[in-house]
Structure 1
């Protein structure tokens, strides 16, 4: 039995989305326009749109219209969740590609962020966080060697927070973060496979154990076309 017309139209619209003719986050053409384009009644068009809303390709926003649904990762900035943990909650399998791992003498800025002395060394770790072959985040982390002397390259291919809490036995309490919109330098743009004209979100953060000890300083660069930050504000 042949598919009803609304299903055929839904399939055609789906192809438009897959081919990038209908962009994520953009409003879709009017019912009148689609009715003319597909030579179908508005009732049929409405049913096709309803089908795609149910499939999660379109979304209706009350009082605004119908849009091609964005599939950005939503990050709740008020939850201290590692990237690996965050992706697994979304049933995605992350890959942590370690680009650089070395022992180094920190700059004055890094020392001040970690509250460590001039003689202390840090591990410098540069990682690319990848999901489904797409680079999402470039992360540069500094941790005191004195706190994690057994930290290794292979450890950083997994979850940093999981290692700290489960293997080292330390309890992570909170993180202090500053969000800065930037245009990337060439090295960062190349790592994230974006143009240097694409804005990124840079997060500078330091994280604290339950005894108040700062255990890491991190600079993370998030792709604005893959990530969306979520905030909840309460009126006092």
Structure 2
């Protein structure tokens, strides 16, 4: 940081270092403005400005009448990027496990037929996976893929990245996806799979993905552990 930076920004940087070193722990209150003013030899107005910077960055949050707290780490999922779970977690150097709980060929219900644009009597793979990072179950995923499009799909492939398989093995180009984000209360089964101690709201994402030739190749219901994830949108002003 430049030596000409305002004092409040220098203090904000020092506060950020306290968080990164673990001196200020996630979920805990930070010292009072008075204490910080004494620590950094600055006015309370300057300290308040520094705190505001870190609140805007999502590192701190305020509770009216209680104090300022260190934000708990959440994985960031940008819904404007078609990035698979494996790709996201690899970028963060996380230890990934994809537990395949169900791998079967079924006759799909009507909503899946409509979503995938299937002909009558076409069958699909139904795969339920539990997606883990660093020994924490983050997502339960129910995926439906046309059997005719991926006749060589296997259980072992789904223990890895399906997008890697589609692009690297099948040599198909993925174009885009349509995602609908819905807050829901989990069923008992989903609650258990996400290891939630109580029935708190979670995020469900319904996802349709297409290939470059506009064929729909997947329908997926994703159930995100909401206390571990945050969803971000980057909006541009026209």
TM-score by length of 2: 0.77
Matches within 5 A, 1:173-192: 173-192=175-194
Question: 1:63-104: CA deviations, max 9, x gaps?
Answer: 987641431111111011100001111111211010110010
Conserved in 2, the CA contact under 8 Å of 1:82 and 1:159? yes
Match of 1:60 among 39, 54, 79: 54
- Structure 2 residue ranges without an equivalent (≥5): 1-17, 43-52, 63-67
**Are residue 194 (structure 1) and residue 190 (structure 2) matched?**
no
Matches within 5 A, 1:54-133: 60-61=54-55, 67-133=69-135
CA distance in 2, matches of 1:197, 1:87: 26
SS in structure 1 at match of 2:155: coil
CA distance in 2, matches of 1:62, 1:177: 27
Shift of 1:118: 2.1
Conserved in 2, the CA contact under 8 Å of 1:31 and 1:45? no
TM-score by length of 1: 0.78
Match of 1:142 among 137, 144, 152: 144
CA distance in 1, matches of 2:213, 2:132: 32
CA separation of 1:82/1:14 partners in 2, compared to 1, >3 Å: closer, same or farther? closer
CA distance in 1, matches of 2:29, 2:212: 46
Number of aligned pairs? 202
CA distance in 1, matches of 2:155, 2:109: 22
CA separation of 1:145/1:132 partners in 2, compared to 1, >3 Å: closer, same or farther? same
CA separation of 1:195/1:45 partners in 2, compared to 1, >3 Å: closer, same or farther? farther
Aligned counterpart, 1:43: 39
CA distance in 2, matches of 1:135, 1:180: 20
Match of 2:216 among 214, 225, 228: 214
CA distance in 2, matches of 1:195, 1:177: 28
Conserved in 1, the CA contact under 8 Å of 2:139 and 2:222? yes
